[in-house]
Chain A
Amino acid sequence: MIAINNVSKWFGDFRVLADCTTRIDKGEVVVVCGPSGSGKSTLIKTVNALEPFQQGEIIVDGVSVGGLGRGLPKLRARVGMVFQHFELFPHLTVTENLTLAQVRVLGRGKAEALAKGLRYLERVGLAVQKDKYPAQLSGGQQQRVAIARALAMDPIVMLFDEPTSALDPEMVGEVLDVMVGLANDGMTMMCVTHEMGFARKVSHRVIFMDEGRIVEDCGKDAFFGDIDARSPRAREFLSKILNH
């Protein structure tokens, strides 16, 4: 579904991604973790070309992402993305947020887009909030609407960029529940997150990054179970986040 081959990226002289290679198969749930500044958010954003890269190639469903130019919106429409800060459009109601891209990008009729949007809103448990504005919702609710908004586009893969990092602790659960549901339904997912409980429960694979490199890329049982076989950097990271 997604193949990332030898991708490197520089900000000026600073190398933020160093020769990253991995792949994500259909139906796979992959968690990307690592210390801050390790390049994990940058990596996930190269998949839908929100971040350009200088070397290597990324193939999404048979299409090379680099140098797509005018074809880019078409590819992006098939890749759902959920952001750390939700990024709902504050001047539009929940319903308008759900339908805007369906109508403008996919060319769906208003009624069809609305029906689809409401179906996903129902799924994330927020059907009663359809006429509210984002600022009238809690952070957790906003993130669930953002997930519904991405799902309404019928994406082939979902990218999550630290979807729970900006949430109050009490609201993390409701967002993770939605993500677990999605994973169980077989959605292909790439998630940058520090939620190791989520990684343990539903992911198939864990990618650990440090200083722009993919240091570990292995099954979750190996990652969490066979800690002695991990690299020193990953062991250090795990010891810090698993002991609390």
Chain B
Amino acid sequence: MTYAWDWLIFFKPSVTGEGLYGWMLVRGLGWTLLISLLSWLFALALGTVLGTMRTLTNRWLAWPALLYVHCFRNTPLLVQLFLWFFVVPELLPPAWGTAIKQLAPTTGQFLTVVLCLSLYTAAKVAELVRAGIEALPPGQRAAGAAMGLTQVDVYRYVLLPQAFRTIVPPLTSDFMNVFKNSAVALTIGLMELTGQSRQLSEFSAQSFEAFTAATLIYMAVTYGVVLVMRHVERRARIPGMLGTASG
């Protein structure tokens, strides 16, 4: 194999005149971080509500949550993205569809990816939240109720704070998955980190450097997630208890 390695490629100007090649990666990373962090926030909020609903005895609340989880967890992320991007705008009232198509292309792509990734990840978060609540001793719910706390307060002050402590480790891997899954954005034309490294590879013909850089950046970002979550876990640990589960 005759391949001319050039690790300085990142500091050379792009043939497209967009600035340095390295700058393309930085912009891509910016999109990746923005998409992932926003999606994670929405997914946490929505997943908490859905996971809670699944543990309620009220069928009219538990069932829709089950249906949601079933739909969003059991279909490929890519299919969901194509549905949101290509199909849903056609199903909306024409005026809305037109409004969406008139958005700046990047804005439309960005909003679609955040929507898609939030809803997809929320289904996974919901399952974790449900598992975390169901793993608690049943007496905790009874004790809260026996003191006269409303169901909402029992969840807010008694069950959810404990459930979240239990599920920090699996939540960490879902948080990391959001960053990795955000790469699907390139399929609808949003140039996030993976998209930019592919462009870099095509424009400069330095594929090895381009994808090595992308790999290292993803690893750095996900390692950052690990560090943050480790900190969260340590802060949330209950004095006197081994690990984080109650028991």
Interface residues of A (CB under 8 A from B): 45, 48, 50, 73-79, 81, 83-85, 87-91, 100-101, 104-106, 132-137, 149-150, 153
User: A90 touching B143 by the CB < 8 A rule?
Assistant: no
**In the complex with contacts A77-B148, A89-B158, A50-B142 CB distance below 8 A:** yes
Docked Cα-Cα span, A137 to B165, in Å, equals 20
**In the complex with contacts A85-B137, A136-B239, A136-B240, A153-B148 CB distance below 8 A:** yes
User: B147 touching A135 by the CB < 8 A rule?
Assistant: no
Confirm or deny: B1 has a beta carbon within 8 angstroms of a beta carbon on chain A: no
Docked Cα-Cα span, A85 to B137, in Å, equals 10
User: B147 touching A76 by the CB < 8 A rule?
Assistant: yes
Confirm or deny: B206 has a beta carbon within 8 angstroms of a beta carbon on chain A: no
A-B contact count (CB 8 A): 82
Interface hub of B137, B143, B240 (most chain A Cβ within 10 A): B143
Q: Which of B145-168 contact A (CB under 8 A)?
A: 145-150, 153, 157-158, 161-162, 165
Docked Cα-Cα span, A91 to B247, in Å, equals 11
What mask results when residues 158 to 188 of chain B are scored 1 for a CB within 8 Å of chain A, else 0? 1001100100000000000000000000000
What mask results when residues 202 to 243 of chain B are scored 1 for a CB within 8 Å of chain A, else 0? 000000000000000000000000000000000000111100
Confirm or deny: B246 has a beta carbon within 8 angstroms of a beta carbon on chain A: yes
User: B241 touching A90 by the CB < 8 A rule?
Assistant: yes
User: B139 touching A87 by the CB < 8 A rule?
Assistant: yes
Among A48, A73, A83, which residue has its beta carbon within 8 angstroms of that of B139? A83
User: B239 touching A133 by the CB < 8 A rule?
Assistant: yes
Docked Cα-Cα span, A88 to B153, in Å, equals 16
User: Could you list 6 A-B pairs, sorted by A, with CB under 8 Å?
Assistant: A50-B145, A85-B137, A85-B139, A89-B162, A105-B149, A132-B240
Confirm or deny: B107 has a beta carbon within 8 angstroms of a beta carbon on chain A: no
Known interface pairs A132-B239, A133-B238, A149-B147; 20 further A-B residue pairs with C-beta atoms within 8 A, sorted by A's residue number? A48-B146, A73-B150, A75-B148, A76-B147, A77-B148, A81-B143, A87-B137, A87-B140, A88-B143, A89-B140, A89-B143, A89-B162, A90-B162, A91-B161, A100-B147, A100-B157, A105-B153, A133-B239, A133-B241, A150-B147
Docked Cα-Cα span, A150 to B143, in Å, equals 10
Among A104, A135, A153, which residue has its beta carbon within 8 angstroms of that of B239? A135
Docked Cα-Cα span, A102 to B157, in Å, equals 13
Please, which residue of chain A has its CB at the minimum distance from the CB of B164? A91
Residues of A within 8 A of B139 (CB): 83-85, 87
Please, which residue of chain B has its CB at the minimum distance from the CB of A76? B148
**In the complex with contacts A50-B142, A74-B148, A105-B149, A135-B241 CB distance below 8 A:** yes
Docked Cα-Cα span, A83 to B145, in Å, equals 12
User: B238 touching A77 by the CB < 8 A rule?
Assistant: no
Interface hub of B142, B147, B165 (most chain A Cβ within 10 A): B147
Please, which residue of chain B has its CB at the minimum distance from the CB of A89? B158
Residues of A within 8 A of B143 (CB): 81, 83, 87-89
User: A134 touching B147 by the CB < 8 A rule?
Assistant: no
Docked Cα-Cα span, A48 to B149, in Å, equals 13
Among A45, A76, A81, A90, which residue has its beta carbon within 8 angstroms of that of B238? A90
Please, which residue of chain A has its CB at the minimum distance from the CB of B159? A89
**In the complex with contacts A87-B139, A90-B162, A133-B239, A81-B148 CB distance below 8 A:** no
User: B146 touching A76 by the CB < 8 A rule?
Assistant: yes
Please, which residue of chain B has its CB at the minimum distance from the CB of A149? B147
User: A104 touching B157 by the CB < 8 A rule?
Assistant: yes
Residues of A within 8 A of B246 (CB): 90-91
Residues of B within 8 A of A78 (CB): 148
Residues of B within 8 A of A134 (CB): 240
User: A101 touching B147 by the CB < 8 A rule?
Assistant: yes
User: B240 touching A133 by the CB < 8 A rule?
Assistant: yes
Docked Cα-Cα span, A98 to B161, in Å, equals 17
